[in-house]
Chains A and B, each alone.
Chain A
Amino acid sequence: MNFRLKIGSETRSLEASPLDETRRTTVMYGEITHSVAVDAIDDNHLNVRLDGRSLNLFVGAAADGAWVWAEGRARFVEDADKLQRRKSSGLLDQPVAVTPPTPATVMRVMVEVCQMVEKGQPCVVVSAMKMELTLAAPYAGTVTAVNTQAGAKVMPGEILVDIEPLTEAKADE
């Protein structure tokens, strides 16, 4: 079985033979072959013998993949093939926009409709978990709409300020 896995920004491929009745398999990372035996201790806990070395791994399934933890290092792992299918259906096409990285509360809106903004110009200040974050314009342009106000609770993906990009021609004017 071939797997293409996305971890962070990297995608890696590996190949594994199906588990036999003693839950053994061989896993190939490129040229290197490892012998692997696995026992499921419970829904989240796996004991894996990787070339004879015992490791306790913990797995937590989430909507788009799974969190996998080994020796203090946790990674969110996505199946790149499934991801590719979602991406081509447009689900992951996130515009670069003025949106909070975490659920947050708007503290101040620093731009107005029709205002010209520079790339990197602060547009909105939000507060999340007692920390203030400044959301800057991702590109230069004109503000066409302000979709929020101070005190509003906002979520990632919510576009707080619409900016019409400055076109080349306008930039020359």
Chain B
Amino acid sequence: MFSKILVANRGEIAVRIMRTAREMNVATVAVYSEVDRTSQHVLTADEAVFLGESDPAESYLNFDKIIVAAKETGAEAIHPGYGFLAENPTFAQRVSEEGLVFVGPPAESMRLLGNKTTARRLMSERNVPVIPGMTAAESDICRLQAAADEIGYPVLVKAAAGGGGKGMRIVRTAGELPDAASLAASEALSAFGDGSIYLEKYLDRPRHVEFQILADMYGHVVHLFERECSIQRRHQKIIEETPSPALSEELRARMGAAAVAAARAAGYVNAGTVEFLLDRSGAFYFLEVNTRLQVEHPITEMTTGLDLVRRQLEIAAGLPLPFAQEDILRRGHAIECRIYAEDPERDFMPSPGKIIYARSPEGPGVRYDHAVYSGWEVPVNYDPILGKLVVWAEDRPSACARMIRALKECVILGVKTPIEFLLDVLSNEKFQAGETHTHFIEEFFSSWRPSTAGDDLAALGFVVNEMLGPRTVERGASVGPAQPISPWHRLGAWDMIR
């Protein structure tokens, strides 16, 4: 095993990786930009290296600076987290060329899978079902129009290099295609440095069901069951759960086998996720492989009891997987809610600012992976994720109830968050019945507004707080020499406890 690793990321995921490393007795190196000098990941690591300006290109995306940081601190491996360099094959290759270990798949698998059209071709060759659509990127509008006619409207314009909904457009009529294609291409170019786009059939209200896979260097591939991530806004996941309410054991086994086949087809090593869309008839289609640790990986950890970061580090260090498919069991139900600095009333627009006060939810079955503290300023430079609230309970209804309870304990003041929105989604009858699909938010929550009951309590809190007046002085006054002498002072040493 490595004795020291560098985590080339920030925020909650960097903190999460460092926690497992510490448990494995692996020292951690954080890297940070100007604006992150006192961010939580810097405070959590054993040592920290300053990279440069806050602009990602000068810091978290800068190959040279990250590699120098790893070499100077004596780190043997680099964990990329998610986002930033996590799915960049050029970086993965560079890391190996420098004699360091990249904690993730080989650059070659990433290249194959990172290009969605290549991946689609590869999967259809291996009999993994794919959504009807183009198998090569295209920029010529006439050919795009011909392809759209063949696939049939509505079609989805997608970025060949992309993910996370960037560069994605739904096109319902031929007239909308030219504008949508040029917008998608420009968004793809700025987000991924590659403006290639392609078209595929747009499915009506499918579910997003993905399978976690683990593969070691010796050709041993297993899946860790599914996660359903149908609740999305702006094509980005906001609530994830496992197991999916839509899968029978028989369908789960078939999809799991397809996921393992997909990983094998790409020569995959390390942790990855095979994403599928599941339509209303129970047919599933390969969507893409995310060649990284996913944001929503904790729900799989909760139900399988396995630590995915530990597995990633072991696989990267050349250890074989210590279990077979039939050894992997799951128990109970887990849900994750993503908490971003964003405003659900204004189309989930980012809402950066200073966290005036934060308090974490606790108690049975609750896991809160976050990087927030009172007084911390949410920077505008990066993805506005604050944390992930994860619960586990014995079944789905108990997990929903537990998530509602935990969300009501999660205090973040100073920026807008979707906590109240999430509470209303979790309390929704259709959500509780498990009738989720990727357009759920659009269909039932597009005109969502916060409740007036919340206004009444806020008004009350404001008024009583004003009437109480400032309190810091009063508290400070009680810490003085006038305090009665406690028995602890007289007893001196703590020896008596033995």
Contact = CB atoms under 8 A, between A and B. Distances in A.
Given A18-B467, A58-B359, A73-B451, A36 B380 contact: no
Contact of B464 (A48, A128, A133): A48
B413 A69 contact: yes
Contacts of B461: 46, 48, 57-59, 68-70, 77
Contact of B467 (A7, A10, A25, A133): A25
Interface of B: 166, 187, 190-191, 234, 346, 349-352, 356-357, 359, 374, 380-384, 407-408, 410-414, 416-417, 419-420, 423, 450-468, 471-472, 475
A75 B455 contact: yes
Bin chain A's interface residue count.
35 or more
A103 B467 contact: no
A129 B383 contact: yes
8 smallest beta-carbon distances between A and B, as pairs: A73-B454, A60-B356, A75-B458, A60-B413, A70-B457, A129-B350, A68-B461, A57-B461
Interface stretch (A37-45, A90-98, A136-144, A159-167): A37-45
A48 B457 CA distance: 10
A60 B415 CA distance: 11
A152 interface: no
25 contacts: A3-B462, A3-B466, A12-B455, A14-B459, A27-B460, A43-B472, A44-B374, A46-B464, A48-B461, A58-B411, A67-B356, A67-B357, A69-B458, A70-B457, A72-B423, A73-B451, A74-B413, A101-B346, A102-B349, A107-B190, A128-B380, A129-B380, A129-B381, A130-B383, A131-B349
Contact of B463 (A3, A58, A65): A3
A50 B458 CA distance: 13
B357 A73 contact: no
Given A1-B467, A46-B465, A107-B190, A70 B458 contact: yes
B104 to A, nearest CB: 21
A74 B419 CA distance: 9
Task: Give the interface centre of A19, A74, A107 by most chain B CB atoms within 10 Å.
Answer: A74
A43 B458 contact: no
A77 B458 contact: yes
B456 to A, nearest CB: 7
A169 interface: no
Given A40-B468, A40-B471, A107-B190, A77 B352 contact: no
Contacts of A61: 356
A55 interface: yes
A9 B157 CA distance: 38
Nearest to A77: B462
A72 B350 contact: no
B347 to A, nearest CB: 10
A146 interface: no
A128 B459 contact: no
A23 interface: yes
B408 A72 contact: yes
Contacts of A66: 462, 465
Interface string A70-96: 111111010100000000000000000
Contacts of B460: 14, 27, 34, 36, 48, 50, 57, 70
Contacts of B380: 102-104, 128-129
